[in-house]
Amino acid sequence: MALQGHLLKRSIESKLKFQHLLLSNYSSLSSPTLPPFNYEPKKYNGPLGDEVLQKRNTFLGPSLFHYYQKPLNIVEGKMQYLFDESGKRYLDAFAGIVTVSCGHCHPDIVNAVVEQSKLLQHATTIYLHHAIGDFAEALASKMPGDLKVVYFVNSGTEANELAMLMARLYSGNLGMIALRNAYHGGSSGTIGLTALNTWKYSIPQGEIHHVVNPDPYRGVFGSDASLYAKDLQEHIDYGTSGKVGGFIAETIQGVGGAVELAPGYLKRVYDIVHKAGGVCIADEVQTGFGRTGSHYWGFETQGVLPDIVTMAKVSSTVLQSYYVDLESTFV
Ligand SMILES: Cc1ncc(COP(=O)(O)O)c(C=O)c1O
């Protein structure tokens, strides 16, 4: 008891010391300022934040939430900066959930959108237009291996929905394996793959197995990929017929809090899943297009070649959501 009391006292003392240090350092610093930026936002004459929020609350469903006591009313963007209704400038460190990859309102993109809109705004795919093939070819040129066929859909959720459907149809098996702490979408199909209770509803979710998350920092097996892979193997051995439809994972979990996978994990589990007849899907919705810094696609950091890659967000920065799903010779 005496030891416990002593430890508690020491811990309270060091916490107080730390708080004091923080406060004294903070108060001696002047508040940070943004570097100069040669751009004057336009004068804003639209509705102010309170009115915008009230209308949102009245006409939109409660699923549209925000995290703030008083959310910002963002009215203009220019490259890495955003401006609120009063013209105040903010550094956009979030890029709309890693979606705005070329900066806000990049002049080259704006110009391309305007020029195309003046010429032709819509054509269905039963007629010809070169853009869809050109874009698919450009994407395919960035892919390794046999990943050369593109499916355009409307969102990351829809890309994962299609990938899951393809995996099940190709393999003839129903069971899908996903990681705990994963986010793959909110449709009635992908909500089953998602493994964060804040993003799930209690609806039928199909045969989904959520295996232990190979989180190298907080995970139960530390960074030992072999033990996490063993857990996945056991799910197949004890929770399925021995055959699965597929496996899906983000290479860095985004919504789950920027969580990397234990090194070597994907190589091990892709082998296991292939042996069980399944298709391996890499969800690159938050990691593709160079967003990891070191590689163009997140899966390359793990040295694997997926059978299907799903992507979104960055590919949608232009005008509307172009979400893309790539598949190999598999399907
Ligand atoms: C990894 C991942 N997959 C899928 C999705 C779903 O994409 P969307 O919101 O475009 O449907 C998201 C969205 O945040 C995501 O982060």
**pLDDT tens column, 174-186:** 999 999 999 999 9
Distance between Cα 286 and ligand 1 center (Å): 7
- Those residues whose C-beta lies under 8 Å from the C-beta of residue 301, and which sit 6 or more positions away, are 251, 292, 294, 295
Give the per-residue pLDDT at 102: 87
CA distance 98 to 265: 24
Residues with C-beta less than 6 Å from any ligand 1 atom: 97, 155-157, 160, 183-185, 250, 254-255, 283, 285-286, 312
Rounded to whole angstroms, the Cα distance separating 133 from 218 reads: 44
**Does the pLDDT at position 209 exceed 80?**
yes
Distance 189 CA to ligand 1 centre (A): 13
- Residue 95: per-residue pLDDT: 86
Alpha carbons 132 and 256: distance in angstroms, whole number: 33
Q: How far away, in angstroms, is 320 Cα from ligand 1 center?
A: 15
86: Cβ contacts below 8 Å, ≥ 6 apart: 44
Q: What tokens were used for 127?
A: 């007629």
| pLDDT of res. 15 | 56
| 313 CA distance to ligand 1 middle (Å) | 8
The first and second tokens of residue 3, run together, are 């030891």
Specify the amino acid at residue 116. Answer: Q
The pLDDT value recorded for residue 94 is 85
Identify the pLDDT of residue 81.
Answer: 96
Q: What domains are defined for the chain?
A: 129-327 (3.40.640.10)
Between 277 and 26, residue with greater pLDDT? 277
* Separation of CA 65 and ligand 1 centre (Å): 17
CA distance 18 to 243: 54
pTM above 0.75, yes or no: yes
Q: Provide, rounded to the nearest whole percent, the portion of the chain with pLDDT above 70.
A: 86
Higher pLDDT, 146 or 248: 248
Report the pLDDT value the prediction gives residue 26, as an integer from 0 to 100.
Answer: 55
Q: pLDDT for 78-118, tens place per residue? A: 999 999 999 999 999 988 888 888 899 999 999 999 999 99
CA–centroid distance, 150 to ligand 1, in Å, is 18
Supply the mean pLDDT for the chain.
88
Residue 265 confidence (pLDDT) above 90: yes
324 confidence band (pLDDT: 50, 70, 90): very low
Atom of ligand 1 nearest to the CA of 253: 1
Nearest residue CA, atom 1 of ligand 1? 285
- Please enumerate in sequence order all residues whose Cβ is within 8 A of that of 224, keeping only pairs 6 or more positions apart, or say none: 262
The phi-psi region of residue 174 (left if phi > 0; otherwise alpha if psi is between -120 and 50; otherwise beta) is: alpha
Evaluate whether 285 touches 310 at the Cβ level (below 8 Å): yes
Q: Residue 283 pairs with which residues in a beta bridge?
A: 250, 310
Closest CA to 240 of 171, 309, 306, 141: 171
Strand partners, 252: 260
Using an 8 Å Cβ cutoff, are 311 and 285 in contact? Answer: yes
pLDDT(59) > 90? yes
Give the per-residue pLDDT at 326.
Answer: 39
Top mutation candidate among 313, 315, 321 for ligand 1, by most atoms within 8 Å of CB: 313
Taking alpha carbons only, the member of 178, 199, 189 closest to residue 278 is 178
Q: Which two tokens stand for residue 181?
A: 């702490």
Distance CA 253, CA 175 (A): 21
- Closest by CA position to 152, among listed 139, 169, 164, 142: 139
